[in-house]
Chains A and B, each alone.
Chain A
């Protein structure tokens, strides 16, 4: 004996059978939808977590002001105190610090503004060179040649108790 759901009324079938079946169909399908939503809300919310990260940027120490010579650019390390306990080496990032004169500091993000490879400072040439696609920057971060669309990103800096600090604000991109 075959049963067909949602058929036009057949001989012997009452209206109540038809609407019962329709109700069951809607409950089953609708309930399935509710199951999907019930699962999706916490899971998708969890996966989208990084978008709602509101931990404020923190000031990180780059070293004593006297360790940076005037007129020179050198590498320093930026530690992100808000990084996860298992972040390993990724808790720290490199920074290019340029001390012009006096307390005029610029902290450059090492990522090339083209596509993010780390730039290298050549003191002889007074240029930052990117190893990936040929980007070149002047000592002040402006583009000297190649595909980068803008000058190097910088971090905000300040001096506290004779130490240089930078605001670890995360990866900046175009």
Chain B
């Protein structure tokens, strides 16, 4: 024990831990610091967890197409705790995205981005961008069909950039097509380049927190003025408390919760399922980004084609520019929510948008329902009512792929309207015109259906009616 103490004293005298580091650790923070202040530490904890699990995974992962899938299989099924580690890294990624956004929201709501902490906010916006870049590059490393094709979609979006689009795409896929060089490049970016940038910017971020101190809890009627804030804050710190341990204990509790939650999720749900390995010769794929990007997937599907380039390029630019401008346009003034009623609105509207778009993105009604084509032709209820003549029409409906976009009584695709009661609305002539000429997103089938097929198909559709309804086109009683 005495030896340990002596060793510690020897090190401390040379490291300057007690004389230099501890005062920083014990720096005074305002007494009004509460549980809302833990979001930054929680985010940092998620990042540390990602680095640690990432390094561990990298000891087994082979970042080339010829080995990636097999090494992932090895990690998942054979490596000790490999399953859990993969799960931790996956849920940790989700946690990073969620916590970064919660932290940003909390800082915004307390107006802590104002003078003199504007650079803190700006470095934070950069960290948000880097986090999303990590999430995007990380998905490809899973090297399954989803990841592969999602990256192709990413590369094609880059191609929409004016002037340098082709250059960006070539740099991204690192070759003529997505191949060996793409995965190794994404690996280097995900494991070395972006984490180096994150370390540097987080270092700046934390240095600024120490330098300016953590902001006091906002109070209505106490706006920030550049001339007076610094001395007011100093006054506040005079009755402050030491960060360690008086405030730090809350951070540690939440950091512990973050770790426990991520491990629990990894153990309960396991890592993402290893589907088919990425294979450009398999065209049966349903590319979807990871859940935190699904809302953007919906944006890409729903944007009118005429303004699509504007959306793909302008939207991210607008968001990040907007975020960066916040402390530059409003560096002073009231911080309390009571004096800034628009602040919760500015947060709530995007949250609602993202939630709604995510739900639509998961439903993806615009995607054809390929599975419906192979399934049994029609719901039994409809099938049983058909006489042999109309059954022919039902077969045409199935064979010609109509089911991929049109459901009948809910079974089938949702790109076009449900046709369960189409006989209520469209006469045979209208049906024929619509099928032959297409329109409104529907292709024209005139060249595909023979006149005989068209006849039986229209007969079948015309018979799909609500009970006790007259067919469309029946004149009203005089």
Q: Name the contact of B149 in the complex, choosing from A48, A118, A169 (C-beta under 8 A).
A: A118
Whether A12 is near chain B, meaning CB under 8 Å from some CB there, is no
Name the one of B165, B179, B182 contacting A91, with C-beta atoms under 8 angstroms. B179
Which residues from 71 to 117 on chain A have a C-beta closer than 8 Å to any C-beta of chain B? 75, 77, 80, 82-94, 110-111, 115-117
Whether A120 lies near B283 (C-beta < 8 A) is yes
- Asked if B401 and A125 make an inter-chain contact with CB atoms under 8 angstroms apart, the answer reads yes
Complex Cα gap A131–B152 (Å): 14
Which one, B286, B399, B415, contacts A134 given CB within 8 A? B415
* Interface flags, B46-67, vs A, CB<8A=1, else 0: 0000000000000000001111
CB distance from B341 to the nearest CB of A (A): 38
Residues of B within 8 A of A51 (CB): 167, 170-171
> When chains A and B are docked, how far (Å) is the Cα of A19 from the Cα of B64?
56
Contact A50–B170 (Cβ < 8 Å): yes
Decide if B176 touches A116 in the complex (CB within 8 Å). Answer: no
Given contacts A92-B280, A94-B280, A134-B366, contact A145 B305 (CB under 8 A): no
- A145 touching B367, Cβ below 8 Å: no
Instruction: Give CA–CA (A86, B284) in the complex, Å.
Output: 24
Would you call B175 an interface residue if the criterion is a C-beta within 8 Å of the partner chain's C-beta atoms? yes
**Are the CB atoms of B278 and A173 closer together than 8 Å?**
no
In whole angstroms, how far apart are the Cα atoms of A121 and B362 in the complex?
24
| One of B156-164, B201-209, B313-321, B330-338 contacting the partner | B156-164
Residue A147 CB within 8 A of the other chain: yes
Q: Which residues of B contact A120 (CB under 8 A)?
A: 283-284, 370
What residues on B are CB-neighbors of A149 within 8 Å?
A: 305, 308
Decide yes or no whether B285 CB sits under 8 A from chain A. yes
Q: Is A146 at the interface (CB under 8 A from chain B)? A: yes
- CB neighbours of A80 from chain B (8 A): 176-177, 179
Number of B residues near A (Cβ < 8 Å) is 66
Q: Return the contact of B156 from the options A53, A85, A115, A126 (Cβ within 8 A).
A: A115
Bound form: Cα–Cα A116–B159 in Å = 11
Say whether, besides A145-B438, A146-B441, A174-B159, A118 and B283 are in contact (CB < 8 Å). yes
Contact B180 A173 (CB under 8 A): no
Q: Are A134 and B176 in touch, CB under 8 angstroms?
A: no
Bound complex: CA A125 to CA B67 (Å) = 39
- A57: chain B residues within 8 A (beta carbon): 176
B155 touches A116 (CB 8 A): yes
**A122 within 8 Å of B by Cβ?**
yes
A144 contacts B443, C-beta separation under 8 Å: yes
A166 contacts the other chain (CB 8 A): no
CB contacts (< 8 Å) of B277 on chain A: these are 89
Please provide the chain A residues from 26 to 73 with a CB less than 8 Å away from any CB of chain B in the complex.
Answer: 47-51, 53, 55, 57
Give, as a whole number of angstroms, the nearest-CB distance from A63 to chain B: 13
- CB nearest to B442 among chain A residues: A145
Chain B residues, CB < 8 A from A115: 153, 156-157, 300
Q: Identify B280's interface contact among A50, A89, A170, CB under 8 A.
A: A89
A53 x B176 contact (CB < 8 A): yes
B213 within 8 A of A: no
User: When the two chains form the complex, which single residue of A82, A126, A133 contacts B366, counting CB atoms closer than 8 Å?
Assistant: A133
Within 8 Å by CB of A129, from B169, B177, B404, B445, lies: B404
Check B300–A171 contact: CB distance below 8 A: no
Residues of chain A within 8 A of B227, CB atoms compared: none
- With a CB–CB cut-off of 8 A, which chain A residues contact B400? 124-125
Give Cα distance in the complex from A92 to B66, angstroms: 12
A-B contacts besides A50-B173, A115-B156, 12 pairs, CB < 8 Å: A50-B181, A51-B171, A80-B176, A86-B184, A90-B182, A118-B283, A118-B285, A124-B373, A124-B399, A126-B447, A129-B404, A132-B367
Cβ contacts A to B, 5 pairs, < 8 Å: A83-B179, A86-B65, A86-B67, A144-B444, A149-B308
Interface residues of B (CB under 8 A from A): 64-68, 149, 152-153, 155-157, 159-160, 165-167, 169-171, 173-182, 184, 277-287, 297, 300-301, 303, 305, 308, 366-368, 370, 373, 399-402, 404, 415, 438, 441-445, 447-448
Ranked nearest first, the 10 interchain pairs of A and B with the lowest CB-CB distance are: A170-B176, A125-B401, A144-B443, A88-B65, A84-B180, A87-B180, A88-B66, A134-B366, A86-B64, A133-B301
